[in-house]
Structure 1
Amino acid sequence: MKKYIVAGIMICITILSCTNDFEETNTNLNEPETASQDLLLSTAISTVANRAVQSGWNGGNIVGQLTAKINFTGFDRYEWGSESGLWDEYYGILPEIDIILKSSVKEETKNTTYEGIALVLRSYVFSILTDNWGNIPFTEALQGTEGNFTPKYDNQEVIYKTILQDLKKASELLALGKTIRIAGTLNGGDILYEGDTKKWLKFANSLRLRYLLRISNKVDVSSEMKTIVDNGMFIKTNQENAVMTYPATTQTDSWSISTSRIGSFDEHRLSQTSETILKKFNDGRLFSWFQPTDNPEDAPDLYVGLPNGLSEDNASTFNGGAKNVSRLRESFFYRSPNSVKAAIIQAAEVQFILAEAAQQGWIAGDAKTFYEEGVRLSFAYWETNQDINAYLLQTGVVYDGRLETIITQKWLASFLVGYEGWYDFRRTGLPSFITPGPDNVNNDKVPVRFLYPDNEQTLNSQNYEQAVSEIGGNTINAKGWWEN
């Protein structure tokens, strides 16, 4: 009997011993439980940059009428819903950015550059969310780990105030110039600027200029803009662009459109709006972006645009059918690693921002010089071979002190840059030639937001109802705080 008692005691001791050091014994040092900052950073950058170019392709170019849809024309006709995939992806990447941010301020992993970069990325993501939907979960958006699964919605004014504060802080942190290199990594996960903190600083300040201009109808932005411009640390060249280059060398591992079916690619065509403006200005970007019609009976250099906002039947039969309407250049599909870059903000846009600010008298400098540099930078970005000096002397292009002249060139430069052209149209009503298509279903009005996702109505109903009440209804025509 004693031997059984002793055996039982030994079993208990063994179990207790295993339990006491179970966590240490069963921890695989080769498989860390939390992702490192560099891995999280590369994921965050690729997600937000890739989504920017996808948004430009799928929505921004269309609502801005840089391109038109020949099939599945609902979006072009303003049959808009929630765009929940966009909502989910941006809210899905925010926790990873938040981990980088929280880790960067801990004593044992403190890194001011990671902190600055995380603030830049978080600010950019929240700006897209609020610009697309208006009031959104913001101050409580990342409290799921604390048990808050029904975050309140904040209004756009509060969100923009915080975004600008965070970007200012980011610029101060990035100005310290601390390295983000980690042992065993090349650039600390920075697939955008390869660890160049000076470029991140310029990126942060360029976003500040973008957002200050965005809210300039509501707030006096002159002082802050002047401080940024006088400091000179903003994106000025295409080499400093916040643009992610796809590392792929084949079609199958580059941007998403090149891995889809050719039919999806061919749904997007030269718009009649773009055709009119590009031909009017003898603009070589027509050839950089589009190709001649496919009809062998047509002249080999014939470019034909499709009106925006046509019904399925009218779009598919326009001008005799698809072969008689110009597609986008095949290089966007077949050789996209060399043709498509994921742009968040470019030097051309920054110059147009400065041109408008100078024209308004908010900053020192010559608006004409800023404007012309913006045009030059856009042509250089697209590697368009053209006599820019002659281009800039044309009627409609030559700087004439009119805001629409600046916005028209800024609109052209927004090709594939998310929804930037749409945001400017909502702020200014320009370019004035953007008008709803003949078969639109929104009473001849360009929409200004997406609908909230259905999940918000069912899972966060109280806060959803409050937000809907504040913005004037969950409709695609409810304007945001900063809009014209």
Structure 2
Amino acid sequence: MHNKILSWGILLLIINLAGCTDDFEEINTNPNRPEEVSADLLLSKVLSTAANENALEAWNRGNIAAQYTAKINFTDFDRYLWEDNGGYWNDLYGNLRDIENILAIARDEESPNPSYEGVALVMKAWTYVELTSLWGDIPFTEAIQGRAEQPILQPQYTPQAEVFAGILDDLQQANDLLQTDGAAVAGDLIFQGDLAKWKKFTNSLRVRVLMRISGKQDVSSDLQEIIANQPLMESNDDNALMEYLPSQPNTWPVHTFRVGSFDEYRLSLTNEGILRGFDDPRLFRWFRPTDRTIGTEGAVYVGMPNGLSENNASTFNGGAQNVSRCSRILYEEPNSVDAVLMQYAELQFLLAEAVQRGLVSGDAQAFYEQGVTSSFDYWEVPMPGGYLSQSGVAYDNSLETIMNQKWLSLFLNGYEAYYDHRRTGFPAAITPGPDNVNSDQVPVRYLYPDDQQTLNTANYQAAIARQGEDNINTQMWLLNN
């Protein structure tokens, strides 16, 4: 009797299961948890991630590598004990997955959207510029294909020259797709859907990329075509940046740091020397007097050398109260700085350099002076009378003069100033600190993340066999002249 009841129970269960298979998927779909995410939501995530990560990298490492700031505690990075920074690598590649999802949506045959496609290609290019500029050869051609019909879980590393070629192709395609009368774009935290500004950013980014590889390739004809025929940033109104807000969760991330973590970063002696040498009031915008003298008539600004040991850094000039901290806008005020991807000032300095080096024709002095002026305007610092005519600032047709002012304009903008110093050697004041552990060399790249050695072993080994030993002093194609 028991076995008969059990058999009938099993039979009824089978019948019930068979009866619900027709609407099984509908019943088991949570209407409050959509399986597909729209392009606008993905775009907001992509832009906020890229902008925030660039801003945090600037604060944590970029400003140190370019010697705007120096560490008074936890000085390993400042001494060139560089780790692989796999966190940034993973963040960038993670964002590229969302960018590829936007591209898939935008290229849908039933409802294509060239505007989303163009914006996504710009952000794809911007992201890969970061990756290859920091690591050299990287997964590119086969990257982000883990969910493809024929998934590639261990992508090959693409040689850096080919990566830059692919980046420029994507930017060219984006320029063609982005039309001022194109389909609307929502979720845009950078330009609020203004496609004309996206097109200007696209071409300004092309200028950045071309100048970055100008030591390896003849880029003059490409630059001339862009300058003559394509829209470029025209003022600070075209800056590619995300504005932070006065309240959480969209505030400048450093605003929520512990005060001790914030106070590890101090005015560097390199920065103090350049700013004081030009009587540059941006010093007072970015830094504050020493704690011991703040609020007094004799308030002083004191920078410390980069690359000191823990003991020498913590005791420099009598200790922390005698070294300038970063200013209120970088901590106490939640929305006084922006998350910058590229600024108009940078474009003007790039054009000035291109003319100075004979790559294009034009008025280098005019580009240069506009770059200086727009940087002061961006930081809301009045330019002193006669600033542009003083020794060291007045345009003298030298690359050093251009690059020194460009360096000042790139404060808190990712690794851009570091890339420029690595490429040009300016500012010349950037030198390894006295307690550096890298044989008095400024590093030129990051180590590949440790997990690449274990999860993508064969391709990692092929990359270092081609590029050179995986250390921070190995010259990548970009720099191997």
Q: Does 1:17 align with 2:26?
A: no
Distance (Å, rounded) in 1 between the aligned partners of 2:106 and 2:278: 49
Q: How does 1:199-238 map to 2 (within 5 A)?
A: 199-238=197-236
Residues 94-125 of structure 1 deviation map (CA, whole Å, 9 limit, x = unaligned): 11110001110012331001000110111111
Deviation at 1:223, TM superposition (A): 1.1
Q: Does 1:425 align with 2:410?
A: no
> Quick check: 1:236–1:350 contact (8 Å CA) kept in 2?
no
Counterpart for residue 265 of structure 2: 268
Pick aligned residue for 1:241 from 234, 239, 245: 239
Residue 244 of structure 1 aligns to a residue whose secondary structure is: strand
Q: Which sits farther off after the overlay, 208-217 or 99-108?
A: 99-108
Task: Sort the Cα spacing of 1:176 and 1:112 in 2 relative to 1 into closer, same or farther, 3 A.
Answer: farther
Aligned residues: 475
Deviation at 1:405, TM superposition (A): 0.4
Counterpart for residue 354 of structure 2: 357
Residues 370-392 of structure 1 deviation map (CA, whole Å, 9 limit, x = unaligned): 000000000001001223x5100
The Cα RMSD (Å) is 2.0
Counterpart for residue 279 of structure 2: 282
In structure 1, the gaps of 5 or more residues are 182-187
Counterpart for residue 440 of structure 1: 436
Residues 360-379 of structure 1 deviation map (CA, whole Å, 9 limit, x = unaligned): 22223200000000000000
Code of the aligned partner of 2:446: F
Distance (Å, rounded) in 1 between the aligned partners of 2:117 and 2:415: 27
Pick aligned residue for 1:164 from 168, 180, 183: 168
Percent of residue pairs bearing the same amino acid type: 51
Pick aligned residue for 1:325 from 318, 323, 326: 323
Give the alignment's TM-score, normalised by structure 1: 0.94
Residues 190-237 of structure 1 deviation map (CA, whole Å, 9 limit, x = unaligned): 111111001111111111000000000111111111111112511121
Q: Which sits farther off after the overlay, 227-236 or 414-423?
A: 227-236
Residues 9-45 of structure 1 deviation map (CA, whole Å, 9 limit, x = unaligned): 7764542231122113333444310211111100000
Q: Which sits farther off after the overlay, 204-213 or 291-300?
A: 291-300
> Quick check: 1:292–1:300 contact (8 Å CA) kept in 2?
no
Task: Sort the Cα spacing of 1:444 and 1:21 in 2 relative to 1 into closer, same or farther, 3 A.
Answer: same
Counterpart for residue 464 of structure 1: 460
> Quick check: 2:286–2:329 contact (8 Å CA) kept in 1?
no
Q: Does 1:73 align with 2:38?
A: no
Pick aligned residue for 2:188 from 169, 187, 190: 190
Distance (Å, rounded) in 2 between the aligned partners of 1:468 and 1:249: 46
Distance (Å, rounded) in 2 between the aligned partners of 1:245 and 1:398: 32
Code of the aligned partner of 1:355: A
> Quick check: 1:179–1:197 contact (8 Å CA) kept in 2?
no
Residue 476 of structure 1 aligns to a residue whose secondary structure is: coil
Counterpart for residue 157 of structure 2: 153
Distance (Å, rounded) in 2 between the aligned partners of 1:55 and 1:5: 65
Counterpart for residue 340 of structure 2: 343
Q: Which sits farther off after the overlay, 234-243 or 292-301?
A: 292-301
Residue 352 of structure 1 aligns to a residue whose secondary structure is: helix
Distance (Å, rounded) in 2 between the aligned partners of 1:29 and 1:111: 26
Distance (Å, rounded) in 2 between the aligned partners of 1:460 and 1:243: 35
Residue 248 of structure 1 aligns to a residue whose secondary structure is: coil
Code of the aligned partner of 1:154: T
Residue 343 of structure 1 aligns to a residue whose secondary structure is: strand
Q: How does 1:294-333 map to 2 (within 5 A)?
A: 294-296=291-293, 299-333=297-331
Task: Sort the Cα spacing of 1:10 and 1:368 in 2 relative to 1 into closer, same or farther, 3 A.
Answer: same
Code of the aligned partner of 1:97: I
Distance (Å, rounded) in 1 between the aligned partners of 2:7 and 2:270: 90
Code of the aligned partner of 1:457: Q
> Quick check: 1:205–1:228 contact (8 Å CA) kept in 2?
yes
Distance (Å, rounded) in 2 between the aligned partners of 1:109 and 1:49: 29
Distance (Å, rounded) in 1 between the aligned partners of 2:262 and 2:435: 23
Code of the aligned partner of 2:183: T
Distance (Å, rounded) in 2 between the aligned partners of 1:415 and 1:323: 24
Residue 390 of structure 2 aligns to a residue whose secondary structure is: coil
Q: How does 1:6-45 map to 2 (within 5 A)?
A: 12-45=14-47
Residue 110 of structure 2 aligns to a residue whose secondary structure is: helix
> Quick check: 1:133–1:450 contact (8 Å CA) kept in 2?
yes
Code of the aligned partner of 2:357: Q
Give the alignment's TM-score, normalised by structure 2: 0.95
Deviation at 1:162, TM superposition (A): 0.2
Code of the aligned partner of 2:125: S
Q: Does 1:334 align with 2:332?
A: yes
Distance (Å, rounded) in 1 between the aligned partners of 2:426 and 2:17: 74
